[in-house]
Chain A
Amino acid sequence: MGTITADRHAVGAEDVAAQVLEMARRHGATAAEVDTSAAQGLSVTVRKGDVETVEHHRDKSLSVTVYFGTRCGSASTSDLRTDSLEEAVGAACAIARFTAEDPFNGLADPSLLAKDIPDLDLYHPWALTVDDAIALAARCEAAAFAVDARIVNSEGASVTTHESTDVYANSNGFIGSIRSTRHGISCAMIGEDEGGMQRDYEYTTSRVPGELMAPEMVGEAAARRTVRRLGGRQIKTCQAPVLYEAQAAKSLLSHLVSAVSGPSLYRRSSFLLDTLGQALFPAAIHIYEDPLLKRAMGSAPFDGEGVATARRDLVTGGVLGRYCLDSYAARKLNLVTTGNAGGVHNLTIEPGSEDLAGLLKKMGRGLFVTELIGFGINGVTGDYSRGAAGFWVEDGVPAYPVEEITIAGNLRDMYKGLVAVGRDVDTRHNTRTGSLLIERMTIAGR
């Protein structure tokens, strides 16, 4: 059913990749690799009951890396006509004449490349017309406005559908393509009371249109999340336990991945340097990648250099079992690639037994964080300080909304102090976690 993709480039993406590898060979490259993608989509926003934007997306791109022995150069282009591809390959080759010899450069070990590429059921196109999209978005926003009289304004409700074909090919004969879709409904609302305005949002996203939440549910959740923030205030500076809501908690796992990834390690710029085999978390914590999950947002049968992915543990019994490496970093560190060229896939922290209410009860008194702002993370030292909003919790129940505060600590202490993982897993993202309870952090406020 290749013709469903109206974009003629999607059909020919594998051919284009093969053509570029051939150009590289003719330019004298000893090895080369190519990424190419073609994508299209529709995005519609309705605000205050009326259409605000209708955007038609159609993107294509190609990037090529060439190797001359151990020197390399890269180029990319959005123009896939033959002469532009020639120009890109020529530019990459020209760069490779000036880069330094680096014995760790090169393609992935051919024996590790994906042989059979499983179908992960990621492609479910949505025959969504502009009118249908507008109607869904309007239903979503109307449901949000109906929740509470204090919902006075809106940033709009959006419906999006997106499909892409991504191809990776290299001169060791690997060629793999992944067709995938991603659909979503989102809504951001504004609430107001005598204390001022607050904004919050909700979204649903899926590979499969039929698995999206109903637009009304998205709208109602966005409104409820907004209303509960009204009346937010500062609290006094203190130390307290902090419960990260699942949506905010995934950032804690991203910081972990970044610290155990190749470049942070070989540059010796990570706060988790030389921690392989060490207990970074309490013994109950289990973190793994699950790249072959059907229909999941982070699924991929091979990584960014064609290496077969597989379910792999990262942290077992609280102990860091491996790093996240591509072939280049692995060669530098005298290790083997972990299939993480381009990142992790469905990074998952095994859920505990408590739901969110159970975790709030377990915390008793402390801060429940629903939103983080800012970038105050020092990846070299692990020092952590970010803006936050959420709720002060007394007797296991949110007592009042809190804002204009920061939460601070050191990530190593925070990981050690990860006392509970919720079973309220947020599966909308490549990082899958429930809410996370950290034993103690410094909260700065009044």
Chain B
Amino acid sequence: MASHSTQTDILRQAQEFLLVPAGLSSGDLETVMSRVAGHSIDYADLYFQYARHESWSLEEGQVKSGSRHTEQGVGVRAISGEKTGFAYSDDIVMPALLDAAAAARAIARSGNPGNQALSVHAGNGALALYEPHDPLVSLKEDEKVALLLKVEQEARRLDPRVRQVMASLGGSHETVLVMRHDGSLAADIRPLVRLNVTVIVEQDGRREHGSSGGGGRTDYSYFLTEERALGYAREAVRQALVNLEAVPAPAGTMQVVLGSGWPGILLHEAIGHGLEGDFNRKGTSAFANRLGERIASEGCTVVDDGTLAQRRGSLNIDDEGTPTQNTVLIENGILKGYMQDRLNARLMGVAPTGNGRRESYAHLPMPRMTNTYMLPGDKDPQEIIASVKKGLYAVNFGGGQVDITSGKFVFSASEAYLIENGRIGRPVKGATLIGNGPDVLTRVDMVGSDLALDTGVGTCGKDGQSVPVGVGQPTLRIDGLTVGGTEE
């Protein structure tokens, strides 16, 4: 298999990068793990990480600031039953590792550190979804500056009402190495780039803004191909100008048509978080104990897929060394499965799904989404809009949030239009949409054929930890969703 050599190569690179400079041998890792694992410890792992991030920002026509961040460290975790002990160190050296091991292991009150022989060996199954190359060196510094200036000039060229352009370019390169208590090793080298543009427009004293951007697990040349960077500038200006014309949004429950792509944040908030394994094991999710039940209309099939090449939410392995996969969450409206890390999978008696993710070595892994999207249906998007007598057509969104216990979720439209008699009417101001996760998808009565994924801008927060994610969906019609405007 072609990816096999890559995987071996990545493991070797990660070891050379993370362990060799610290003078750590396989024998040292075995020693540390033998202090953690043992009687009454069900699972343990070491997570080595080194990451470099950079960002460049432009405002007022100039790139005035740039920054570089480096972080490295090792996290040590021991699990006994439902109990987790965790410690970490930003020094990757043997004494710090042994300290962290002792602190993490204290979670198991009885029993001795194990004496069973373990030997470090390569795990298997890692994917090869992106190149391990460092995006930070994929453009020279003056080329990064020039890219941002081009974006700025494009935005200003498009319309004299553009008064302010803010743009930022960011990249990161991260190497992780996971060693489990059985001695298996897995590694990943993860590039990630992103470009964002926000413009402020002004006309007759009224000001508005528009934002756009994108990226993925690739390098900066991504923004230079297909005029992507310029495309973000054009999109930000277009949105801002639309919003200059916006009238107050309606208030109340009505038919809502959601556009394709980023509006898939609906799925992330309404059902995604509620289908994460931890909440369901603990019974705190509105979806707990509902496997096999109908939670969406017949036309809805939703997956969480970490295996899409170069996507922002994709991973070759999750942060527990499990290869990511395409997990069916909802199939033709029926709840099929949850997203799992190793702890919750073990406690629920199911297989891990490659969704164990952590923000860094200093954070505990949890079940998290990767790229969550709905498969396409057969309706022409134009036909969906034409079917609505009076409602809202929402095509762009800011963030969202969910209360997984009550199931109530929100997501905030940043570009929306009234639909009147099947035609798209005036743009309306941004408004928050609110619904109930367990039944909102049962009201999806038309599914478009135009599946699109977002452009690569999503960051998901849970328990204070941020991880990059993706969403997507085709155009959808929802027969009744509450729209939080001001016009009764």
A interface, CB within 8 angstroms of B: 47, 50-60, 72-79, 84, 87-88, 91-92, 94-100, 102, 105, 130, 153, 155, 190, 196-199, 229, 232, 234, 237-239, 267-269, 273, 373-376, 378, 380-381, 383, 385-387, 389, 403-410, 442-446
> Residue on A with the closest CB to B165?
A267
Taken together as a complex, chains A and B put the C-alpha atoms of A375 and B83 apart, in Å, by 34
Judging by beta carbons under 8 Å apart, are B482 and A445 in contact? yes
Judging by beta carbons under 8 Å apart, are B408 and A403 in contact? yes
> Residue on B with the closest CB to A239?
B488
Judging by beta carbons under 8 Å apart, are B482 and A405 in contact? yes
Judging by beta carbons under 8 Å apart, are A54 and B282 in contact? no
With beta carbons under 8 angstroms apart, the residue of B86, B89, B142, B251 that contacts A444 is B251
Q: Tell me how far the C-beta of A268 lies from the nearest C-beta in chain B, rounded to whole angstroms.
A: 6
- By CB atoms of chain B within 10 A, which of A47, A77, A88 has the most? A77
Taken together as a complex, chains A and B put the C-alpha atoms of A99 and B56 apart, in Å, by 9
Judging by beta carbons under 8 Å apart, are B89 and A58 in contact? yes
Q: Can you name 17 A-B pairs with beta carbons within 8 Å?
A: A51-B83, A56-B86, A196-B286, A199-B405, A199-B406, A267-B164, A268-B163, A268-B200, A268-B207, A376-B410, A381-B429, A385-B431, A385-B486, A387-B484, A389-B403, A404-B482, A405-B434
Within 8 A of A (CB), among B450-483: 482-483
Given contacts A92-B68, A376-B412, A404-B482, A55 and B364 within 8 Å (CB-CB): yes
Contacts of A84 in B (CB 8 A): 70
Contacts of B406 in A (CB 8 A): 196-199, 229, 232, 389, 403
Q: Tell me how far the C-beta of A34 lies from the nearest C-beta in chain B, rounded to whole angstroms.
A: 14
Contacts of B71 in A (CB 8 A): 77-79
> Residue on A with the closest CB to B436?
A404
> Residue on B with the closest CB to A87?
B70
Judging by beta carbons under 8 Å apart, are A376 and B432 in contact? yes
Q: Tell me how far the C-beta of A420 lies from the nearest C-beta in chain B, rounded to whole angstroms.
A: 22
Tell whether B82 is near chain A: CB-to-CB under 8 Å: yes
Taken together as a complex, chains A and B put the C-alpha atoms of A99 and B436 apart, in Å, by 48
Judging by beta carbons under 8 Å apart, are B207 and A190 in contact? no
Taken together as a complex, chains A and B put the C-alpha atoms of A269 and B401 apart, in Å, by 25
Taken together as a complex, chains A and B put the C-alpha atoms of A51 and B429 apart, in Å, by 48
Judging by beta carbons under 8 Å apart, are B85 and A374 in contact? no
Judging by beta carbons under 8 Å apart, are A373 and B410 in contact? yes
Given contacts A381-B429, A387-B434, A155 and B284 within 8 Å (CB-CB): yes
Contacts of A374 in B (CB 8 A): 399-401, 410-412, 432, 434
How does the 8 Å CB contact mask read for B67-86 relative to A, with 1 for contact and 0 for none? Answer: 11111110000000011111
Taken together as a complex, chains A and B put the C-alpha atoms of A35 and B408 apart, in Å, by 41
Judging by beta carbons under 8 Å apart, are A53 and B90 in contact? no
Which of B12-20, B57-65, B115-123, B126-134 sits within the interface? B57-65
With beta carbons under 8 angstroms apart, the residue of A54, A155, A197, A446 that contacts B106 is A54
Contacts of B408 in A (CB 8 A): 373, 387, 389, 403-404
Taken together as a complex, chains A and B put the C-alpha atoms of A406 and B400 apart, in Å, by 13
- Total inter-chain residue pairs, C-beta < 8 Å: 254
Judging by beta carbons under 8 Å apart, are A378 and B484 in contact? no
With A198-B405, A404-B482 given, name 19 new contacts (CB 8 A).
A53-B86, A73-B66, A76-B67, A78-B90, A79-B91, A88-B70, A196-B406, A237-B252, A269-B164, A269-B207, A373-B408, A374-B400, A376-B412, A385-B249, A406-B482, A408-B432, A442-B251, A444-B251, A444-B252
Tell whether B231 is near chain A: CB-to-CB under 8 Å: no
Judging by beta carbons under 8 Å apart, are A98 and B86 in contact? no
Tell whether B362 is near chain A: CB-to-CB under 8 Å: yes
How does the 8 Å CB contact mask read for B349-370 relative to A, with 1 for contact and 0 for none? Answer: 0000000000000101000000
Judging by beta carbons under 8 Å apart, are B73 and A78 in contact? yes
With beta carbons under 8 angstroms apart, the residue of A51, A75, A79, A269 that contacts B90 is A79
Kindly list the 8 A-B residue pairs having the minimum CB-CB distance in the complex, ordered from nearest. A406-B484, A374-B410, A100-B62, A387-B410, A199-B405, A376-B432, A376-B412, A444-B251
Q: Tell me how far the C-beta of A12 lies from the nearest C-beta in chain B, rounded to whole angstroms.
A: 14
Tell whether B114 is near chain A: CB-to-CB under 8 Å: no
Given contacts A84-B70, A374-B412, A387 and B86 within 8 Å (CB-CB): no
Judging by beta carbons under 8 Å apart, are B403 and A53 in contact? no
Taken together as a complex, chains A and B put the C-alpha atoms of A105 and B411 apart, in Å, by 38
Contacts of A92 in B (CB 8 A): 67-68
Given contacts A53-B364, A376-B430, A444 and B66 within 8 Å (CB-CB): no
> Residue on B with the closest CB to A73?
B66
- By CB atoms of chain A within 10 A, which of B67, B141, B364 has the most? B67
Q: Tell me how far the C-beta of B150 lies from the nearest C-beta in chain A, rounded to whole angstroms.
A: 15
Contacts of A198 in B (CB 8 A): 405-406
Tell whether B298 is near chain A: CB-to-CB under 8 Å: no
Given contacts A78-B72, A380-B207, A406 and B253 within 8 Å (CB-CB): no
Taken together as a complex, chains A and B put the C-alpha atoms of A406 and B64 apart, in Å, by 39
Given contacts A87-B70, A408-B485, A197 and B286 within 8 Å (CB-CB): yes
Contacts of A234 in B (CB 8 A): 482
Contacts of A229 in B (CB 8 A): 406
How does the 8 Å CB contact mask read for B274-285 relative to A, with 1 for contact and 0 for none? Answer: 000000001110
Tell whether B189 is near chain A: CB-to-CB under 8 Å: no
Tell whether B42 is near chain A: CB-to-CB under 8 Å: no
Taken together as a complex, chains A and B put the C-alpha atoms of A239 and B252 apart, in Å, by 12
Taken together as a complex, chains A and B put the C-alpha atoms of A198 and B34 apart, in Å, by 43
Given contacts A73-B67, A98-B63, A385-B484, A268 and B434 within 8 Å (CB-CB): no
With beta carbons under 8 angstroms apart, the residue of A105, A153, A385, A409 that contacts B282 is A153
Contacts of B64 in A (CB 8 A): 72, 99-100, 102, 105
